[in-house]
A and B are shown apart, each in its own frame.
Chain A
């Protein structure tokens, strides 16, 4: 199963309620970045290029919980930086789960062995491990040998301890569809994770290597090839079928950046998880005073090569509510975990 039924129902009900209330924009996933510090310097990452005093600043658990309550999104994705570098990450996670949030703890897996004994398995907690390829490709993309093996060991241990585990794969210019196919088969058949996430890398201007990013037409081509492999029927995704169609260029979607607001150590990031144009002190200010129409594919040059799930999953979920056929596909995907027809 890709997404647990309880989570799918909670999110479906939440979205329906927001729409019945006539809200045009509302948060679905809080992107929580309690720190920017990371123990890796991946070649395609543009998140960690901050001065030392910012890298040394961490959100407290209380600030994290307050952000989740202020925002009200049913899902919290804890990213960063590397969340497991945060000395109180266990408290942050437990507090969010206790507040009824569905938490995705995104990690490169290096420190999982240290933290797993201090975390409690819950249907509301998913350990989301970053895997960009099999050993050679992954270690090249994270620019450090041995990380793939650490991450895989962490996944196995998390599964053994009864955690829900998913993987998050970023597709770069260096990742061939064949390599991603092998990774997905490995993750599905050998690691037996509960779901996978995939999206193309965003061309962060600050990323150390600018040659690793795909342009939009290449992204579509890559995903068409990837999802043409017969193996796709076995793969279980934590993503809506519509989003996977979108990656293949079969569906037109516009970004809904407001659905995934980002709270980091500098405040609420405007306009989205990927572009830090400015920071505002409150979520209300972010939602109500951002000129959202200015952003998105075709509107802002910085969005041209973005097909990330943080921007488009909400649009896909909304579309599934509007079309009975898409709704049925999304429901089937939730129950049976099959996203790609």
Chain B
């Protein structure tokens, strides 16, 4: 069973486990996944990474197992419900902190608490990211079953440091450090974000392999258990 795990950045991909594909941030992700799916080797897709929290009860590091992918003005997409139920049970039995909810995809990072509140009221999605919806749509177009799991980075009650508000691509960490160095006002927020990032990546390390195994069990190879199914490297 060929399962592709994709994450937007190298750092997220590393946390998701060996073999995870770096698909890029925002619109770039769609392009790279399209190329991958066109090769016809992927039989199941796991979309992983960090996200902004919209559900105010979620702490950094909590996983959101996507039960519906949302984008403004587009019909919602739902992954296979039987797989979702299996993933939910396995995450729960392993004591991984998670919720089953929606993921909203937007074009740019949601920086302020007020914006997050408005999106929460409007969509009821627990998290917001920049890739899940178009990637799920691509998977459906190619007839590939998909699951998505995201770890909360910045919780609903927090904004983002100014230096990160216009991120549209892989963060150049040196440039980011330089930008932060010039903006002492952002230091406390940046320090908090660094701490939250550690928690979010730890959440991905815990949860993504569980979800990937479930994804690999959609149509297991003859004679092989789901656990024995191979997660292929797609880089």
Q: Are A and B associated in one complex?
A: yes
Interface contact A298-B117, CB-CB below 8 Å: no
B150 proximal to A (CB < 8 A): no
Rounded to whole angstroms, the CA-CA distance of A273 and B228 in the bound complex is 45
Q: Of the candidates B56, B122, B124, which one forms a contact with A253 in the assembled complex, judged by CB atoms under 8 Å apart?
A: B56
Rounded to whole angstroms, the CA-CA distance of A143 and B156 in the bound complex is 42
Stretch at the interface among B5-13, B95-103, B169-177, B191-199: B95-103
Task: Name B114's closest neighbour in chain A (CB-CB).
Answer: A250
Interface contact B56-A249, CB-CB below 8 Å: no
Task: Name B56's closest neighbour in chain A (CB-CB).
Answer: A252
Interface contact A297-B124, CB-CB below 8 Å: yes
Interface contact B126-A299, CB-CB below 8 Å: yes
- Which B60-88 residues have C-beta < 8 A from chain A? none
| Tally of contact residues, B, Cβ under 8 A | 22
Q: Of the candidates B98, B101, B116, B157, which one forms a contact with A298 in the assembled complex, judged by CB atoms under 8 Å apart?
A: B101
Interface contact B101-A299, CB-CB below 8 Å: yes
A216 proximal to B (CB < 8 A): yes
- Which A201-249 residues have C-beta < 8 A from chain B? 216-217, 220, 249
Write out the residue numbers on chain B whose beta carbons fall within 8 Å of the beta carbon of A297.
55, 124
* Chain B: minimal CB distance from A208 (Å): 27
Write out the residue numbers on chain B whose beta carbons fall within 8 Å of the beta carbon of A252.
54-56, 116-117, 120-121, 156-157
Rounded to whole angstroms, the CA-CA distance of A274 and B156 in the bound complex is 26
B118 proximal to A (CB < 8 A): yes
Q: Of the candidates A216, A249, A291, which one forms a contact with B118 in the assembled complex, judged by CB atoms under 8 Å apart?
A: A249
- Which B39-67 residues have C-beta < 8 A from chain A? 54-57
Rounded to whole angstroms, the CA-CA distance of A254 and B100 in the bound complex is 14
Rounded to whole angstroms, the CA-CA distance of A216 and B123 in the bound complex is 10
Rounded to whole angstroms, the CA-CA distance of A339 and B66 in the bound complex is 37
Interface contact B124-A304, CB-CB below 8 Å: yes
Given A252-B116, A254-B57, verify A298-B125 contact (CB < 8 Å): yes
* Chain A: minimal CB distance from B206 (Å): 16
B92 proximal to A (CB < 8 A): yes
Q: Which of B54, B116, B126 has the most CB of A within 10 A?
A: B126
Rounded to whole angstroms, the CA-CA distance of A315 and B120 in the bound complex is 16
User: DSSP class of A's interface residues: helix, strand, loop or mixed?
Assistant: loop
| Tally of contact residues, A, Cβ under 8 A | 18
A99 proximal to B (CB < 8 A): no
Task: Name B117's closest neighbour in chain A (CB-CB).
Answer: A252
Interface flags for A113-131 (1: CB within 8 Å of B; 0: not) read 0000000000000000000
Rounded to whole angstroms, the CA-CA distance of A297 and B58 in the bound complex is 13
Given A252-B116, A291-B92, A293-B99, verify A298-B55 contact (CB < 8 Å): yes
* Chain B: minimal CB distance from A289 (Å): 12
Write out the residue numbers on chain B whose beta carbons fall within 8 Å of the beta carbon of A253.
56
Q: Of the candidates A216, A254, A296, A299, which one forms a contact with B121 in the assembled complex, judged by CB atoms under 8 Å apart?
A: A216
Write out the residue numbers on chain B whose beta carbons fall within 8 Å of the beta carbon of A19.
none
A21 proximal to B (CB < 8 A): no
* Chain A: minimal CB distance from B224 (Å): 31
A294 proximal to B (CB < 8 A): yes
Q: Which of A220, A249, A299, A315 has the most CB of B within 10 A?
A: A299
A-B residue pairs in contact (CB < 8 Å), sample of 14: A249-B118, A252-B116, A252-B120, A252-B121, A293-B98, A293-B99, A293-B100, A296-B57, A297-B124, A298-B101, A298-B123, A298-B124, A298-B125, A299-B100
Mark A residues whose CB is within 8 Å of B.
216-217, 220, 249-254, 291, 293-294, 296-299, 304, 315
Q: Which 10 A-B pairs have the closest CB atoms?
A: A254-B57, A298-B124, A252-B56, A252-B117, A252-B120, A298-B101, A249-B121, A299-B101, A293-B99, A298-B126
